[in-house]
Amino acid sequence: MLNEKIFYLLNNFAGKNPIFDVFFIFGARFLIILFFVFCILFLFKISKKAFLTLIFSLVLATLANQLFRFFLPIDRPFVGREVNLLFFPPQDPSFPSNHATLAASVAFLMFFYQKRVGFLAVLIAILIGLARIFVGVHWPTDVLAGLVLGFLVAFAAKKILDYVGLTEDSI
């Protein structure tokens, strides 16, 4: 299966080089925190509307992610398989990747408001997703679905708030 082949292509490098391991563990666990802090401050500085759209998008992304996990409870790669697991094994379902969904929803909102910075944010969201595969906690399809779901949620959040007429003056 292609999903497994891509997973092992990335995960087989885990545990082989301590520098890569530290880099990808940081990317899988902590980069999202720094990323969120930067994006929240950046969007807040742009406008109150951008900031509120971000909050709305994160709420929608979390709800959408939990619905998928409830109806499609897919096991993580380390369940019943030998993988190079670089940190604690999460116990919740794998699909879609919560990290990828949330990072993508924030990244695409950044892109909608500031193309250049947003492009960099999308690359960071992809890196976070790849790191989750490298450390052994997600399948590639989990990450891909999370990135797509994050885009759809960010797009919907922006359109909904535009539709209801949220403006800087109304905040």
List all residues 6 or more positions away from 104 whose beta carbon is below 8 Å from its beta carbon: 122, 125, 129, 146, 147, 148, 149, 150, 151, 154
Assigned token pair, 109 = 């909102």
Q: Among 52, 33, 44, which Cα is nearest to 102's?
A: 33
Q: What's the DSSP call for residue 81?
A: S
- From first to last of the 171 residues of the chain, give the pLDDT tens digit: 899 999 999 999 998 999 999 999 999 999 999 999 999 899 888 888 899 999 999 999 999 999 999 999 999 999 988 899 898 888 899 999 999 999 999 999 999 999 999 999 999 999 999 999 999 999 999 999 999 999 999 999 999 998 888 666 666
- The CA angle 62-64-66, to the nearest 5 degrees, is 70
What is the model's pLDDT at position 31? 95
User: Would you say 11 and 137 are in contact if contact means Cβ atoms under 8 Å apart?
Assistant: no
What is the model's pLDDT at position 167? 66
Q: What's the DSSP call for residue 165?
A: T
The residue written with tokens 């960071």 in the block is 124
Query: 144: left (phi > 0), else alpha (psi -120 to 50), else beta?
Result: alpha
